[in-house]
Amino acid sequence: MAMVQGNKGALIFKKAKRQLVFKGKGQGDPSMINVTIINQRKG
């Protein structure tokens, strides 16, 4: 899934109970990118 709103964007990859999330913010210099890995354990 990909989303863009103004100067913010997100790219999310999902497989089974795992997610890889890239979030970007900014336009030009400086810009910021966050990378998050989510692994859901069995409860």
- Reported as a single tens digit per residue, the pLDDT across 16-39 is 999 999 999 998 788 899 999 999
Q: What is the pLDDT of residues 4-17, one digit of tens each?
A: 999 999 999 999 99
pLDDT at residue 43, rounded to an integer: 67
Q: Can you give the pLDDT at residue 28?
A: 79
Using 50, 70 and 90 to split pLDDT, how confident is the model at 2?
Answer: very high
3-class secondary-structure state, position 31:
strand
Sign of CA dihedral 4, 5, 9, 14: negative
**Where are any strands of DSSP class E within 1-43?**
2-5, 8-15, 18-26, 31-39
User: What does the block give as tokens for 13?
Assistant: 């990859």
Kindly state the tokens that stand for 32: 């910021």
